């Protein structure tokens, strides 16, 4: 039994050493290979990997190809029976990789596992949930899934309940994605139309459509050093997803929902920033302002492109 560990990097020198050290502690006594695909970093990411982790196969992309395409490049080279995709800005804190693999072996109906993610401040990060629909997007606008995390009727795109036991879910985050390699022959790899975000939800949906289960596996816990200030919602990815699975009209309606969501968030975090000096509120205000601008100015171009593409 061999495990292939795949990491996609882009200017990850701040995190990659801690990430690889924590992962390699999990591989003692295991047959494994480590593949790192670098998306044209211009910092010291590649130098650090070559000097300190010679066991890693480093693949240098001449340009930033995005998360989906870079992972697919590594998957073509992977020889493991099991594949672990993990972000470079993570640190393994709890649980055993071999036990997670054994969990998959013992449960043939389960195709993939996600883990429990923690942010640097110790808070729990949303890392799984329910497949997106317009109704669920509207619920997210008004924080209903967060306010009523135990209500089946209020379920949104994300799960807001920090469950302590393994459980079936619709999708898991690509930050940590463990699965059988044989799955790729049946459902395919990542859809390369996505540059970043939603490719994990897309792949999860195709897995579930084949009748296989996906599980949230909190026995493993990792810290995710997410750089919030650089996140501009999900860019064009939600439009690609809705167009692919629901059609153009649904993608067009989604724009107005996302505009409303970011507009309300701006006022919400503006108020919180006024009354509190916490940096996180100012970061979220900036992030939602950028998000609103994107869906107002850039989304029409994305939608036109999708509409033209669907006619060709």
For residue 232, the model assigns a pLDDT of: 53
Measure the CA–CA gap between 172 and 130, rounded to whole angstroms.
9
pTM: 0.94
Query: Could you tell me if 220 and 238 lie in one domain?
Result: no
For residue 283, the model assigns a pLDDT of: 87
217 or 278, greater pLDDT? 217
Per residue in 245-283, pLDDT tens? 999 999 999 999 999 999 999 999 999 988 887 888 998
Q: What is the CATH number of the domain that holds 127?
A: 3.90.550.10
Identify the DSSP state of 120: T
Q: Is the pLDDT of residue 56 over 80?
A: yes
Looking at 226, 259, 290, which one is the last position of a domain? 226
Is 148 within the bounds of a domain? no
Structure tokens at 149: 């995390």
Query: Could you tell me if 85 and 22 lie in one domain?
Result: yes
Measure the CA–CA gap between 94 and 109, rounded to whole angstroms.
25
Query: Could you tell me if 279 and 203 lie in one domain?
Result: no
For residue 228, the model assigns a pLDDT of: 46
Nearest in space to 163 (alpha carbons), one of 102, 99, 215, 89: 215
Mean pLDDT of 46-75: 96
Is 143 within the bounds of a domain? no
Query: Could you tell me if 212 and 271 lie in one domain?
Result: no
Query: Could you tell me if 63 and 116 lie in one domain?
Result: yes
Q: Is the pLDDT of residue 312 over 70?
A: no
Query: Could you tell me if 302 and 181 lie in one domain?
Result: no
For residue 229, the model assigns a pLDDT of: 45
Mean of the per-residue pLDDT values for the chain? 94
For residue 279, the model assigns a pLDDT of: 86
Identify the DSSP state of 297: I
Burial class (CB in 10 A: 0-12, 13-18, 19+), 305: middle
Task: Tell how far CA 271 is from the center of its chain.
Answer: 29
List the beta strands (DSSP E) in 159-255: 167-169, 171-172, 176-180, 213-224
Is 8 within the bounds of a domain? yes
Looking at 174, 209, 226, which one is the last position of a domain? 226
Residue 311 binned pLDDT confidence (cut-offs 50, 70, 90): low
Nearest in space to 212 (alpha carbons), one of 178, 247, 252, 183: 183
For residue 173, the model assigns a pLDDT of: 97
Is 259 within the bounds of a domain? yes
Query: Could you tell me if 248 and 217 lie in one domain?
Result: no
User: For residue 238, what are the CA distances in angstroms to 11, 56, 251, 258?
Assistant: 25, 33, 8, 10
Mean pLDDT of 229-250: 85
Range of the domain at 37: 2-132+154-226
Per residue in 115-172, pLDDT tens? 999 998 888 999 999 999 999 999 999 999 999 999 999 999 999 988 899 999 999 9
Query: Could you tell me if 220 and 110 lie in one domain?
Result: yes
The residue length of the chain stands at: 312
For residue 309, the model assigns a pLDDT of: 78
Task: Tell how far CA 190 is from the center of its chain.
Answer: 12
Q: Is the pLDDT of residue 215 over 50?
A: yes
Is 161 within the bounds of a domain? yes
Query: Could you tell me if 172 and 194 lie in one domain?
Result: yes
Neighbours of 246 (CB within 10 A): 15
- DSSP assignment of 21-57, as one string? HHHHTT-TTSEEEEEEEEE--SSSHHHHHHHH-TTEE
Q: Is the pLDDT of residue 67 over 60?
A: yes
Counting the structural domains of the chain, the total is 2
User: For residue 216, what are the CA distances in angstroms to 39, 110, 164, 209?
Assistant: 29, 11, 10, 18
For residue 16, the model assigns a pLDDT of: 97
Query: Could you tell me if 269 and 199 lie in one domain?
Result: no
For residue 233, the model assigns a pLDDT of: 62
Q: Is the pLDDT of residue 36 over 80?
A: yes
For residue 197, the model assigns a pLDDT of: 94
Q: Is the pLDDT of residue 178 over 90?
A: yes
Is 138 within the bounds of a domain? no
Looking at 182, 208, 226, which one is the last position of a domain? 226
Query: Could you tell me if 200 and 248 lie in one domain?
Result: no
Q: How far apart are the first and last CA of the chain?
A: 44
- The answer to whether 40 and 61 have CB atoms below 8 angstroms apart is yes
- The answer to whether 213 and 168 have CB atoms below 8 angstroms apart is yes
Query: Could you tell me if 202 and 94 lie in one domain?
Result: yes
Mean pLDDT of 231-253: 90
């Amino acid at each position: 039994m061999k495990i292939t560990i795949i990491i996609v990097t882009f200017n990850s020198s701040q995190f990659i050493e801690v990430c690889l050290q924590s992962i390699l502690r999990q591989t003692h006594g295991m047959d494994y290979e480590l593949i790192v695909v670098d998306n044209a970093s211009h910092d010291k990411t590649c130098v650090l990997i070559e000097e300190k982790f010679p066991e890693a196969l480093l693949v240098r992309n001449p340009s930033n190809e995005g998360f989906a395409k870079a992972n697919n490049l590594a998957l073509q080279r992977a020889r493991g029976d099991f594949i672990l995709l993990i972000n470079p800005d993570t640190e393994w804190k709890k649980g055993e990789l071999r036990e997670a693999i054994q969990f998959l072996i013992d449960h043939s109906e389960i195709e993939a596992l996600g883990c429990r993610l923690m942010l640097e401040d110790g808070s729990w990060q949303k890392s799984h949930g329910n497949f997106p629909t317009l109704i669920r997007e509207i619920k997210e606008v008004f924080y209903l899934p967060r306010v009523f995390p135990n209500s089946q009727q209020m379920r949104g795109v994300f799960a807001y309940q920090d469950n302590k036991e393994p459980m079936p879910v619709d999708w898991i985050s690509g930050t940590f994605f463990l699965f059988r390699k044989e799955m790729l022959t049946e459902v395919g790899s990542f859809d390369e139309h996505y540059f970043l975000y939603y490719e994990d939800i897309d792949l999860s949906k195709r897995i579930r459509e084949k009748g296989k289960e996906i599980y949230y596996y909190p026995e493993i816990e990792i810290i995710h050093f997410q750089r919030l200030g650089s996140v501009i919602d999900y860019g064009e990815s939600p439009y690609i997803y809705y167009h692919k699975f629901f059609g153009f009209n649904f993608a067009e309606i989604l724009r107005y929902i996302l505009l409303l969501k970011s507009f309300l968030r701006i006022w919400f975090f503006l108020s919180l920033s006024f009354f509190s000096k916490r940096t996180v509120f100012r970061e979220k205000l900036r992030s939602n302002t950028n998000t609103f601008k994107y869906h107002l100015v850039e989304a029409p171009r994305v939608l036109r492109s999708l509409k033209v593409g669907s006619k060709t």
